[in-house]
Structure formats: structure tokens, C-alpha cells
Amino acid sequence: MAVVVVESPAKAKTINKYLGSDYTVLASYGHVRDLPAKDGSVNPEDGFAMLWEVAPESKKHVRAIAEALKTDDTLILATDPDREGEAISWHLKEALATSLKKGKTVRRVTFNAITKNAVTEAMGKPRDVDMELVDAYLARRALDYLVGFNLSPVLWRKLPGAKSAGRVQSVCLRLIVEREMEIEAFKAREYWTVAATLATPRGQEYEARLTVLGGKKLDKFDIANETAAELAVQAIRSRDLTVKSVESKPAARNPYAPFMTSTLQQEASRKFGMGAKACMSAAQRLYEAGHITYMRTDGIDMAPEAVMAARDEIKRRFGAAYVPDSPRMYKNKAKNAQEAHECIRPTDMSLSPEKLKVADDQRKLYDLIWKRTIASQMAAARLERTTVDVGSADNQVELRATGQVVMFDGFLKVYDEGRDDEDGEDGARLPQIAEGEPAEKRKVTPEQHFTQPPPRYTEATLVKRMEELGIGRPSTYASIVSTIQDREYVRKDKNRLIPEDKGRLVTAFLTNYFRHYVEYDFTADLEGELDDISAGERDYKDVLSRFWRDFTAAIAETADLRIGEVLEKIDDFLAPHLYPARADGGDPRLCQTCGTGRLSLKTARSGGAFIGCSNYPNCRYTRSLSAVNGEDGAGGDRVLGEDAGDEISLKSGRFGPYVQRGEATEANPKPARASLPKGWSPEAMDLEKALRLLSLPREIGPHPEDGEMVEAGIGRYGPYVKHGRIYANLPEADEVFAIGMNRAVEVIAQKAGRGSRASAPAALRDLGEHPDGGKIEVMSGRYGPYVKWGKVNATLPKEMAPEVVTVAEALELIAAKATKSGGKRGGAAKKPAAKAKTASKATAKPKAAPKAKAAARKPARA
């Protein structure tokens, strides 16, 4: 028998079914060893020696494998067929070294799909662990560790609130921040287009747009304003139009290549809004169940037997017309494409999505993979594109109508790729139009447009851009995008990635002090060197040595930097963005509120950045980094209206947007303010909403049990209701303004029942004063009733009812408890335990104390 080790129990279960009783299949549950999260785990002074340790949660899995090897002589490492899978196999071999000494055999097998044929075939072709792939893994792991553990502390010291930096993570963040700055620096430009609804002599209508005016072909901005547009309209209306030419051209659309990791993530994001992490999780489960091939790949080629299976399925489902004459072959054009595995495809082409019994997210993803794979081997779609030019006899005016007709749908019958942004393709169908016939003008319409800024990245477009630049690898995209969101450098809003102020600061800092290490070309070239290591063309320690020499020099240059100096440098670097030129030509750094202070970059304790006035605290003007125009409604100050003589305004501060009543004066330096709760958009704020926020906290009414006022408000941790010292969270901010007493009492009771530390337990009875001072009370606790004196809590015996306990019995219990605690839990006096003991002797029976002591211990033990 042999011991086969794979990563997950799901994979182990599937493979065990194929191999049968001759094999013991166990799971390693991923990586079993890692570098300890402390400085010194990679030692550049000792040839980049790496200190590995078995993770605590992995020790039991390693023990289970070692135990199985006591009776079996062969260890077969069947982890995933990529660099990471090779590394897991190497780690297992190293961790099991003591169990493999006595003539044991270690072999490595890989398979691209978890099917019976693939697994059986792989078992017949064992090999050794590929140390070149392992070296590439070691180099990558050492680089990421050295960058993280040496650059992150620089950020912590020089840039308060920054959490971490990473070799690929920081470059990815730079992409998002730079795109946002492009958007904010964008100046919209006005332009107009003119379209006409024309009709054939048979009365059939079609749309055409103006392309020639005054005998000159129009460029995008030639019709720059409404006046010019109206002149163009008049030029069309005042002329008779005739069809000058009708040109029809056949065209073809070829299918898309099968999925690789990055394109699967992009399409799942476009069509389902599925993040990269969720996509890979669903794909992992499909792979482990044997439904698809390995999902971390740069390859788009397909095994010959899979191609033939796809062609057979196409013919069976759609007919021979949909099968091309020869199989389609695809080649990857991505920069630094490597790890030559198959594409991501179904393992069984005849297994359609509707037959699959899996979770919804897996079914949706499988449907996408199945359709893309089948479509990739289908015939091209045949189209006919028609262009019609209509003009005046004097050639001063010309319009163009375009359309297309699908003559044969081909692969489009199954699948069409989603688009990130509209590409303007005109798919309108045109009526029959003949050259030389008149074109009747039914309607001529001018339309105003403005140029649009580049769109924010989605996860799909970000992954696509990283792939184009050669940054990162398929297996890392999901974790990179998740990390920058977890670090609060980026937030996701309506599937678009928006940099937070913290992310802007980190990017500005790294671009100024470590520019070389966040350059796109440098990161891509380093990825290329890592690929060379896996191909055996470079020594990984040489790559590490060169990197470390330059990187430590850059770190050393930041040693004497002061926080103020860093902020000043970042402030200057971001100045064109933070302080854009004013329309009136005034100083963009001049405070808009006090008129004398200078605006500059500041950081809050929370790590957020904001723009503040140098006259603080006399002037409290602030705005966020993203609010580059102080007067725009979304980011800057905006007056919402008046109430009782006070101006109610929306402002943007260091902690985000807020509303304020009046302005700060000497008499009222801190006017009433209220932050906008989560989910409330600054653009949607009006006077009514602002007044509701400023009126908080809202009194709901007296509590029915004790008459104490119950309030609702919005605090640091969100919306809440309050009763005494109990704060109970509400799910939505809007509920603060509508919640009634019944609902409030219910929410408060639920919070009190969970034993919140903020809620003090109510006393059942007040027994009066202790002889040494301080109240004695009977309380209801988590483990039953008890008597309380100062810090001494003594549990009541089961036979002693809280309603009838006497002062003498309470003193006896308190004395016993205090004695047991060594006199360290006294109440009013410094040594209450000793005095309580004296008092108890005067009032208690000789043998009562030990009995009480035993009773007091019993509930605690339970």
C-alpha cells in the first residue's frame, strides 16, 4: 500500500474513490509549514537561509501522515500541478523527514483534472519533486517576506495609520490610486452631435448621424456648442437629401479562447458581480469534485481528446453546421504567460449545467465555463455590415447610417463575452435602402455631450490590467485584491474600486521614497526573473542578493526621516491634485473659511488623512483628500438651508462628510455637528435629513419598568437605542428615527440578556449597610443569585432563597468568600475581609461558615 497526500479532504475523498483500497489517501489541509511571522525568518547574512516551522493546526495532519507511513513504504505527493502545489509537496517531504529515513520511497504525481483516467494515468508516471519550481517558490516567498518585514515598519513609523506594504500589493494599489487621480484631474469638454430620422420612399424609418458639414468631415469637437449645433440642424433642414451610396460587407466574428484564471475572474465579475476571491473559491470546489480542470493556469490550449469531445457535443446539440472544418487552436498573448497547463474546462463535455447538483455559485460558474468551452470550438458567426451615406447635392451636408445583420449565429448561439464599458458598436438593423433614392427628413435632433473620465477599475478590469503589465500571477490576483480591501486602502462601491485616503498616502509615500519598487516594469521584470528560476535559467540566491543589496540601501535612506518631513514631501507631491488652480486666480492653499490660514496635509490618529487649516483651533476648516474642489457638492462645503436663523451646511472633514448648524465663533467654538451614517450619500443630503441628524439623540419615552428615558441615536459604532448604561445596536440608521417603545424595549432586553458588560445587573434586595461600611445587596447573576459587598461576590447556596436571606447569613457568606480570596477583594475598607470575619464571629453559629463555604464553591464548579 502507498500513502497519497493531497491538499484538501474533498480532493482526498474524490481520489480515494478512484484509487480504491490499495491506497491510503490523506489531506495536508494546504501548506503545512510557513515562515514564522517575526523578524529573522529569512536571513540574508546566511545565504538567505529560511526558518520554517510547522503550523500548530497542521501538526495533527503531519502526525496522521507519519503514522500511516509506519505501515506503508511509499509516499505519493499528489498536490496541485503548479508552483504552489510543488512547494506543498516539498514542505511535506521536509516535515516528514524523520519518517522517511528507513528506505521509504517518495514520489510526485500531478494531474490536471480529478477524473479516474487522469488520476490513474498520473499514478503510472511518478517523478521526483521539481526543485527548480521549488526554488522559484522560495525566491518569491523570501522576496515577499523581506519586502513586507522591512518596508512595513518604515510605513508604521513614518506614516501613522498605514498597515503594510507588499511587493505586488503596493503596485496594484498604485494602479487604483493613479486611475482615481486621473478621474479627479479630468476636465469635461462639451461637444454636440446631430442625428436625423430619415425615411425611405416606402415610409420605413432609419437613423443617420451628421458626418460632413460645410463640405468638411467632422471631428468629435467640431460642433462645440448649442449655437453651432443649431446651425448644423438648419443646414440639414434646408437641403434635400439623397442616398449617395449603400455598401454591404460580409464580416465574421470568431469565438473567444477558453478560460484561463484571469479571464474567468474577469467574466465572473462582469456577469455575476463575483469578486476574484469568491470566483476562485467556487472554482476550487468544482475542481475538487472532478467537474472542471485545474483552475490556476495561464494556459488556453485544450487537450486533443477534450477538443474532440467538445466538437462531438456541438454536433449532437446544434448540428454539423456549427462545427468548424478543423479544430481551433489558441495561443496566449499575455505578457509573461507561464505554467503551461490546460485551459479551465469541464472534464465531461456532455455534463450540461442543468444536470449538475452543486451550490448556486458553483452552478453559475460551471455554466460560464461550459458555455465558453463549447463556444470556443464552434463555427464563427457570419454578419453583414451595411453603411449608407446620405447627402445633399451641393456636398455641404452628409449623414451616415450603419447597421448589421447576423446571417449565421455560430458560437453566439451559446455564448457572448460581457463588456466592461460600452464600445459603441452599432447593431441596428436597417430597412431596404437603394442608392439614388430620396431620403425624407422626419426629425433632426441636436444632442449635447460631455467627454467622460476614464472609468474606475472593477476587479475584472484591474485583473486584466495587471495581466497586461505582467504583474502578479493567476494564483495571486484574488488575494492581492482582497488584501488591499482588508487593509482599508481601497473600498468597493457598486463593483468599482475606490482608493481610501490611507491608500493615497501609502502610494504617495512609496512613489517618493521607494519609486523603483512600485514601478510597473520593475515588478514585471522581477516576475520574469522568477519564471527564469522555475525554468532553471537563474539561481534564486543570485536574484535575491541583487534585490536585497539595492533594497536595503533604499531602506537606509529613510532612517532619519521625520513624520513632519514626510508629510511635507507628500503634500508637495500631491499638491496639483490637492490644491487645483482656482478660477479666480487666487492662492489655492488659502483657507476658504478664515481667509488667512494656509491649507496643508495632516493625518489623524486613526491613520486617515485630511486637509486642514494652519489657524487651527481658531479655524476648524477641514476637507478630505478626495474633495479637491471645495465648492463641489459631493466633496466640499455646501449650504443646505436655514433653520431658526442658523445656516445648516454639509461639510467634509477628516472622518468623512458631516452636517453642521451655524459656524464656529468665539462664543460658540464647537457648533452642533453630526456625521453622515453609513449608507447615506452626501449627494442626496438635503435640509430635512440634516435637521433629523442634528436633532439626535431622540427621546423615545420612559421605560415601562423603571421610568428611565429610552433614547435612540447614532454613535461611534453606528445606530443604537439606549436605556441607562445599556446600548443596543440597530441594523439601519433610518430605524433611529422611526423606532417605537415596544421595539426598543425588545432590542434592549435582548442586549441585556447577552450579558453586556455595559449593563449593570439590577439588585434583587438591599440588605442595608455592612458593619465596615458599604451596601450589602442580593443580586441576580449568570450562575444564580449572590450577595454583593463592594468587590466581594458570594454565591447563595441552593437551599437559601434570595427573597428570605438575612443580613447575618449574608455577612457569613461574605466572610467565607473574603477568607477564601485571601482578603484581596474587599469593599469599602482596605482590609474588609479581616473585619468581616470578626463581625461574623459575633453573629454566626460555630459550624455555619464551613457549610456556607462548601455551598458557595459548588455553583462555581458547575
Q: How crowded is residue 803: how many other Cβ atoms within 10 Å of its Cβ?
A: 8
The rounded distance, in Å, linking the Cα atoms of 176 and 767 is 66
Calculate the alpha carbon distances from 774 to 281, 588, 741, 827 in Å: 60, 64, 36, 7
Closest CA to 672 of 656, 695, 644: 695
Provide the sign of the torsion angle of the four alpha carbons 296, 299, 303, 308, taken in this order.
Answer: positive
First-to-last alpha carbon distance for the chain, in angstroms, is: 49
Q: For residue 806, which amino acid is it?
A: T
Which grid cell is 706?
423603571
Q: Which helix or strand (DSSP H or E) is residue 176 part of?
A: helix 169-185
Q: Give me 395's grid cell.
A: 456636398
Across 196-234, b (16+ Cβ under 10 Å) vs e yields bebbbeeeeebbbebebbeeeebeeeebeeeebbeebbe
Query: How far is residue 425's CA from residue 429's CA, in Å, rounded to a whole number?
Result: 12
* Pick from 517, 501, 521: nearest CA to 554: 517
- Please, are residues 816 and 794 in contact by the beta-carbon 8 Å criterion? yes
Q: Rounded to a whole number, what is the largest CA-CA distance in the chain?
A: 126
Closest CA to 333 of 261, 421, 257, 269: 257
Phi and psi torsions of 636, nearest 5°: -95, -170
Which residues, 6+ apart, have CB-to-CB distance to 477 below 8 Å? Answer: 261, 262, 265, 276, 463, 466
Amino acid at 536: G
> Are the beta carbons of 297 and 343 closer than 8 angstroms?
yes
CA distance 607 to 159: 8
Q: Where are the beta strands (DSSP E) in 300-339?
A: none
Tell me if residue 294 is catalytic. Answer: yes
Closest CA to 246 of 96, 401, 350, 104: 401
696: exposed, middle or buried (Cβ count in 10 Å: 0-12, 13-18, 19+): middle
Q: How far apart are CA 186 and CA 182, in angstroms?
A: 6
- CA-angle at 157, arms to 152 and 162, nearest 5°: 55
8 Å CB contact between 858 and 794: no
Distance CA 633, CA 639 (A): 9
Say how many C-beta atoms besides its own lie within 10 A of residue 674's C-beta: 18
478 touches 459 (CB < 8 A):
no
Placement of cell 510543488 in the chain = 86
**Amino acid in the structure at residue 636:** G
Rounded CA gap, 169 and 483, in Å? 8
Q: Which one from 294, 322, 366, 513 is the annotated catalytic residue?
A: 294
Q: At 44, which amino acid appears?
A: P
Catalytic residues: 294
